[in-house]
Amino acid sequence: MTDTLIGSASQRKLAILGGEPAFKSALHVGRPNIGDRQQFMEYANRIFDNRWLTNCGPFASQFEQELSEFLGVKHCMAICNATIALEIVIRALGLTGEVIVPSFTFIATAHSLQWLGVTPVFCDIDPQTHNLDPEGVEQLITPRTTGIIGVHVWGRPCAVDALQQIARARNLKLMFDAAHAFGCTHAGKMIGGFGDAEVFSFHATKCFNTCEGGAITTDDDAVAARVRLMRNFGFAGYDDVTCVGTNGKMSEVSAAMGLTNLQSLDEFICANYRNYRKYQQEIGDIPGLSLIHYDESERGNYQYMVVEVDPQITGLHRDGLIKVLHAENVLARRYFWPGCHRMEPYRSHFPNASLTLPRTEEVAERIMVLPTGSSITEQDIETICDILRAAIANASEVHQRVAGHGSFLKPL
């Protein structure tokens, strides 16, 4: 359990106002989940005994098989990381010209297109779901459009059916960035088998991680065959290169971490769900703050505790509240701010993009993500929410202090 100072934040001076931090060590939004260490070390010893460290070894093959079964998909290809996975799928699907994507996503979604010479066309989002707006997608289709990338933000599924209908009607490729959505369902079906292909991230900060890694899933035999070639330099056999490829293979050690953590996935999700319910309870009575809703009729991973801030009610902007939390060693974060369209090279390429992305900009200005995961306790959550209550209760004084407090962004 994280060591906290005696007394709630409402009973003591906030750190930003001169008090001592509530937490002696930092609470991160996504501290890595780690499964059974003994099991992992057993796998590691077998890897060293095998002297097979990479190049589609037995652990990577086993990991792919277990993921295929878990996700209910025909093909699963383990990849060194999700960014390379996105790039491989973009090439495997033959995307060129323009591809429609949300701006409210991690920059890798857009960069993977730009890196390959494909133009990302940014579409606005549904302000309730934070996901791609299908009506907006329809309006952006041009003769140069070859595909759509939907992003399952926070693990909440895109408007999958609407996007699939658009893609079929307009003869476009459809892929999904499922970086947040491992273990989640749409209409009772595991995310992983929608569109032409889906991409998962198994980065260390994700609910399920392989230290670093990702996966591509598809039910399309031809797409799977191209992906397998492309992730291994285009080799179809020994000394037989049949297409342009890259090095996207997952190492055996990462696969072993994946196999280990897969056994603990239910435990990780259970901890996230416990935290979600606790945050619901605590934030429910804090004016101006609202926790995003997860559909409990579907399977979810509850990986992100996302709060929307209404500054008209709190008396403090989202950034001010984050400064307050950082002073207490709670490293809350803005997510996807200020939007891909306001980062380079896109803000130079599309200087007027903000005119067509009003909901993206509004959401990006209001979102705050709080710590969760298996290392966070219910007492930690109570303390975090006490800090927020105290900040809002003393909004005028806090506002004056944070205005001259400098940058709140600490290295993670």
Cβ atoms of 126 and 153 closer than 8 Å: no
Residues 147, 292 within the same domain:
no
70 in any annotated domain:
yes
Closest CA to 56 of 256, 259, 252, 224: 252
Name the DSSP letter for residue 113: H
The 10s digit of each residue's pLDDT in 130-188 is 999 999 999 999 999 999 999 999 999 999 999 999 999 999 999 999 999 999 999 99
What local confidence, expressed as pLDDT, does residue 94 receive?
98
Residues 98, 163 within the same domain:
yes
CA torsion through residues 309, 315, 318, 323, sign? negative
Residue with tokens 């900060």: 205
Q: List, in order, residues 6 or more apart from 45 with CB less than 8 Å away.
A: none
Closest CA to 206 of 254, 246, 163: 254
Residues 257, 152 within the same domain:
yes
Parts of the chain with a pLDDT under 70 = 1-11, 404-412
Residues 56, 155 within the same domain:
yes
Number of compact structural domains in the chain: 2
Residues 113, 92 within the same domain:
yes
What local confidence, expressed as pLDDT, does residue 406 receive?
57
Beta-strand runs (E) in 83-239: 98-102, 119-123, 145-151, 173-177, 185-186, 189-190, 197-201, 214-218, 235-237
The 10s digit of each residue's pLDDT in 44-61 is 999 999 999 999 999 999
Residues 275, 398 within the same domain:
yes
378 in any annotated domain:
yes
Name the DSSP letter for residue 79: E
Range of the domain at 79: 37-263
139 in any annotated domain:
yes
14 in any annotated domain:
no
Amino acid identity, position 348 = S
Residues 210, 299 within the same domain:
no
What local confidence, expressed as pLDDT, does residue 32 receive?
94
Residues 285, 152 within the same domain:
no
The domain that contains 392 carries what CATH number?
A: 3.90.1150.10
Q: What six digits make up the tokens of 9?
A: 């934040």
The domain that contains 57 carries what CATH number?
A: 3.40.640.10
Q: List, in order, residues 6 or more apart from 411 with CB less than 8 Å away.
A: none
This prediction's pTM: 0.93
Residues 254, 276 within the same domain:
no
What local confidence, expressed as pLDDT, does residue 403 receive?
79
User: Distance (Å, rounded) from C-alpha 76 to C-alpha 386?
Assistant: 44
Last residue of a domain, one of 234, 263, 292: 263
Residues 255, 270 within the same domain:
no
